[in-house]
Chains A and B, each alone.
Chain A
Amino acid sequence: MIGVLAQASTTDFDIFVQTFFKATALGSLYSLLALGFVLVYKSTQTLNFAQGAMALVGAWFLSLVFIDWDFPARWLPGPNWLHWIIALLVAAAMAAVMGMAIEKYTIRPMIGQPLFSMAMITLALEVILRTISFDAVNLTTRSLGVPWGTRIFMLGGARVAWSYIAATAMALLAFVAIWRFFKTRMGIAMRATSFDQEAAMAQGINVSRVFSIAWASGASLAAFAGVFASMSPWPSGGTANRDGAFFVFRALPAVVLGGLDSVVGALVGGMIIGFSEIYAGQYLANYTGVLGVGYQQVIPYLVMLVGLLVRPYGLYGTVEVRRV
């Protein structure tokens, strides 16, 4: 199965398979970002527009830990990939701390303010974090030292990049972890808080801790998504770049399509958006003259618009009961 010798002529089916893996990977990345959104929205009722920028900062953290500080290799023996994974975890932990700090100093004082003021704060954070990651630390020229680099393997006649497999595995892992987390004590507390904050407080749940854990996990999920979105086969090509910011803005349709407050919605929405983007990019390429260059990047928004017209609260979102 794996080998460079199997250079059979690529059939239509092979292209379909190839596209399938790419679409799954992109869908996974969107789902990861959407999951972070949903966790934060469910518990703190804040729409975190800075999720994308936090992903960029997460990628910078990895580059800082793994390349600049050479942190795990200095202390531990062992193979390169193990060091990389440790560095990834350290970067995610750093992102979690950043998320907690953001929650503590900018979101918590705003509790009780209109939802839109909070959303605006996260938009301002987006501007700050994006400027820092592009202009101050020059993310565009940084390497992430990905162990599998640009390597691909052959599945029949289809060429599949290892990065695609890694991204899908990462998303699977994250969703299983979150699903397990919801069964734990803290997870139940989080679900209770999202259901009714005051009732949860009356039951002795530490709501502010739930908030900071939600932001911490949202930020580290963003960091994972940022790292896996900055790998080679994606347009950014091994280093994070400015397109990354727009890439992460395209995760918004995934959240909205799935429903702002549904974990299942994040998965399904992310996959729908990822598949429609990649398959449209593959099979409508002949019509580029009519549709314009880069038309596939608009597909997520079109899918979102159509989806919202049919179901205004997304596929799995809670329908808001409107009272006088």
Chain B
Amino acid sequence: MRGRPGLYTSYEAEAALLPTRTRKVALGLLILVLVLMPFSLPVIDQIPFVRFLGDAPWLRVVNRALIFCIAALGLNLLAGLAGQVSLGHAFFMGVGAYTAVLMGGVSTPHLWGWGLPMWLWLPASGVVAAGVGILVAPAAVRVRGLYLAITTIGLVFIGLHLSRVFEEIAGPGALGRKWPKLQLRLWKEEEPFLDFSGNGHWFWFDVNRTQKTYYFLLALLVLFALAAANLARSRTGRSWAAIRDRDVAAEIMGVAEFRAKTTAFAISSFYAGVAGALLASMVGQMNPEAWNLLLSVEFVAILLIGGMGRVSGAIMGTFFVVLSPRFVEQFIGWTADQAEGDGLFSGFWDLLVVVGSGDFGLISVTQQALGFPLPASALDEIIYGVLIIVFLLFEPLGLFGIWVKVRNYWKGWPFSY
């Protein structure tokens, strides 16, 4: 109702994706900013974060985050909505990636590849992953809770082994193989009619490959996020929520548990498969060991940090988890500069950071070797672990919970509730 955004007078209004005008405007503005972000435009470049996220090195990280968003949305459907926490998400991403390389890759005497165009291999990577998800689902319906989590860990290790067995698909040893590029062709012709992987010219603007990939991924993410949000309010989504909240009660009400869990696995795997194919083809060449347990853990961490069961939570969590190591890196670089210079606190930073040889400190900037002055890469992992723990301890609802708190504060101001 006008002036009373919390009051719904019809079911349609309550189930609407964007129930209030504020949300419509906010989302519209967000998308506008995201679309204009990669260019250096006068107003957009004044917004904090957006100012530097549009630069090429950061845009590459943002692209990675967009792909992770798609996969996280998939896991959000399975874990956040249907309540089946799976640690096998990396396995399904791998399935998608290898479907893509088998269908779209170049054939050599030692490697299989059919050289098909992207409009075939990208959906197929999702479909094949979904098929594998359906195969796995009967086992997952039988085991529940923590047993399911461990069973799906088994899936990851079995998948890693399969990539070693089928070297014709995965490529030899630790090298991996080259993935097809993000290029749209009608069939196997030389010149792609839409190329997301090279510099070029769109309408009146020069766009480089990172910007092109960014737009392609942004469009895909909007598509997938819309699909996820709509699924959540459909009959299927409600049956998932019922299973999550109390499976026996849901069955008594007539929700088919087996069917709901199978569709949850299939759709979540579809998201994972597409994300895996996108990630591999964006990176270009990937080692089979990349689809490991840590990747799965990262997605569960994303959900816990962002807030379970929410599309916005999954997206916020992904950006937080993917971007924060880069911020840590930047920060370490900055401390090294501080230690070298003669600012007010240079003595403090000097104690902390190792810059040259023979210097004392906890963190090493220059040396990559393992050992006591921690290399920056190791520090990344430790901070990542600490972040997960801190979030779970102090903000169990994640970034979404923080947002709700902030929103309620402003809504109720100057009263406390």
Distance between A143 CB and nearest chain B CB, rounded to angstroms? 16
* CB of A297 within 8 Å of the partner chain: yes
Per-residue B-contact encoding for A305-316, CB less than 8 Å = 1, 0 else? 100110011100
How many residue pairs between the two chains, A and B, have CB atoms under 8 Å in the bound complex? 140
**Do A119 and B146 have beta carbons less than 8 Å apart?**
yes
Which listed residue (A127, A128, A301) contacts B157, Cβ 8 A? Answer: A301
Is A123 touching B297 in the complex (CB atoms < 8 A)?
Answer: yes
- Contacting residue for A115 out of B143, B146, B151, CB 8 A: B146
Chain A contacts for B388, CB-based, 8 A: 120-121, 123-124, 127
B residues less than 8 Å from A110 (CB atoms)? 392-393
**Chain A positions 275-324 with a Cβ under 8 Å from a chain B Cβ:** 291-295, 297-298, 301-302, 304-305, 308-309, 312-314, 320, 322-324
Task: Say if the beta carbon of A138 comes within 8 Å of chain B.
Answer: yes
Residues of A within 8 A of B169 (CB): none
Residues of A within 8 A of B145 (CB): 115, 320
Chain A residues near B374 (CB-CB < 8 A): 135-136
A54 in the interface (beta carbon within 8 A)? no
Q: How many residues of A contact B (CB 8 A)?
A: 51
Of A192-200, A207-215, A232-240, A252-260, which binds chain B?
A252-260
Pick from A138, A308, A322: contact of B371, CB below 8 A. Answer: A138
Q: Pick the contact of A312 from B144, B252, B381, B396 — CB < 8 Å?
A: B144
Docked Cα-Cα span, A47 to B155, in Å, equals 18
A114-145 to B contact mask, C-beta < 8 Å, 1/0 = 01110111011111100110111110100000
In the bound complex, CA of A322 to CA of B145 (Å)? 12
B385 at the interface (CB under 8 A from A): yes
> Assuming A127-B385, A293-B164, A301-B157, is B370 touching A135 (CB within 8 A)?
yes
Contact B146 A301 (CB under 8 A): no
Q: Whose C-beta in chain A lies nearest to the C-beta of B163?
A: A292
B44 within 8 A of A: no
Which residues in B have their C-beta under 8 angstroms from that of A106? 389, 393
A125 in contact with B389 (CB, 8 Å): yes
Chain B residues near A320 (CB-CB < 8 A)? 144-145
Does B157 lie within 8 Å of A297, measured CB to CB?
Answer: yes
B41 CB-CB contact with A under 8 Å: no
Asked whether A249 is an interface residue with its Cβ less than 8 Å from the other chain, the reply is yes
Chain A interface helix/strand/loop/mixed:
helix
Known: A109-B393, A127-B294, A135-B370. A313 touches B382 (CB 8 A): no
A138 touches B165 (CB 8 A): no
Nearest A residue to B165 by beta-carbon distance?
A292
With A110-B392, A123-B300, A322-B247 given, is the CB distance from A305 to B385 under 8 Å? no
State whether the Cβ of B69 lies closer than 8 Å to any Cβ in chain A: no
Contact between A132 and B149 (Cβ–Cβ < 8 Å)?
no
Residue numbers in B under 8 Å from A314 (CB-CB): 147
Cα A293 to Cα B247 in complex, Å, equals 41
Question: Do residues A249 and B153 form an inter-chain contact, with CB atoms below 8 A?
Answer: yes
With A134-B370, A302-B158, A324-B249 as known contacts, state yes or no: A312 contacts B146, CB within 8 Å: no
Specify which chain A residues have a CB less than 8 angstroms from the CB of B153 in the assembled complex. Answer: 249, 252, 301
B401 in the interface, Cβ–Cβ < 8 Å? no
* B147–A297 CB distance below 8 A: no
Q: How large is the interface on B (under 10, 10 to 19, 20 to 34, 35 or more residues)?
A: 35 or more
Q: Are B392 and A117 in contact (CB under 8 A)?
A: yes
Q: Mark B302-318, 1 if CB is under 8 A from A, else 0.
A: 00100000000000000
- Chain B, residue nearest A123 (CB): B297
Verify B381–A131 contact, CB threshold 8 A: yes
Say yes or no for B384: interface residue by CB 8 A criterion: yes
Name A309's contact: one of B142, B161, B249 (CB within 8 Å). Answer: B142
Q: Is the C-beta of B219 less than 8 angstroms from some C-beta in chain A?
A: no
Q: How far is the CA of A109 from the CA of B391 in the complex (A)?
A: 12
Say yes or no: is B174 at the interface (Cβ < 8 Å to chain A): no
Contacts of A312 in B (CB 8 A): 142-144, 147
* Bound: A37/B146 CA distance, A: 13
Q: How far is the CA of A293 from the CA of B145 in the complex (A)?
A: 33
Question: Which A residue sits closest to B79, measured CB to CB?
Answer: A116
In the docked arrangement, what's the CA distance between A324 and B378, Å? 46
B281 to chain A, nearest CB (A): 26
| B17 on the A face (CB < 8 A) | no
Which B residues touch A308, using CB under 8 A? 139, 142-143, 147, 151
Give the distance in Å from the alpha carbon of A135 to the alpha carbon of B154 in the complex: 26
A113 interfacial by beta-carbon distance below 8 Å = yes
Interchain CB contact (< 8 A) of A305 among B139, B146, B304, B371: B139
Docked pose: A44 CA to B249 CA in angstroms: 27
Q: How distant is the Cα of A294 from the Cα of B164 in the complex, in angstroms? A: 9
* CB nearest to A114 among chain B residues: B396
CB-nearest residue of chain A to B139:
A309
Cα distance A292–B379 when bound, in Å? 35
Could you tell me the distance in whole angstroms from the C-beta of B243 to the nearest C-beta in chain A?
Answer: 12
What's the least CB distance linking B310 to chain A, in Å?
Answer: 16
Evaluate whether A297 and B150 lie within 8 angstroms (CB atoms) in the complex, with A106-B393, A127-B384, A128-B386 already known: no
Point out the residues of chain B lying under 8 angstroms from A47, CB to CB: 146, 149-150
Closest 8 pairs between A and B when the two form their complex, measured CB to CB: A301-B154, A292-B165, A135-B378, A124-B388, A128-B385, A127-B385, A124-B385, A131-B381
- What are 13 A-B pairs with beta-carbon distances under 8 A? A117-B304, A131-B381, A249-B153, A252-B150, A253-B150, A260-B147, A291-B165, A302-B154, A308-B151, A312-B147, A320-B145, A322-B248, A324-B249
Chain B positions within 8 Å of A, measured between CB atoms, are: 85, 139, 142-147, 149-151, 153-155, 157-158, 161-162, 164-165, 246-249, 252, 293-294, 297, 300-301, 304, 370-372, 374-375, 377-378, 381-382, 384-386, 388-389, 392-393, 396
Q: 6 new A-B pairs (CB below 8 Å) besides A120-B304, A128-B382?
A: A124-B385, A131-B378, A131-B381, A137-B372, A256-B147, A297-B157
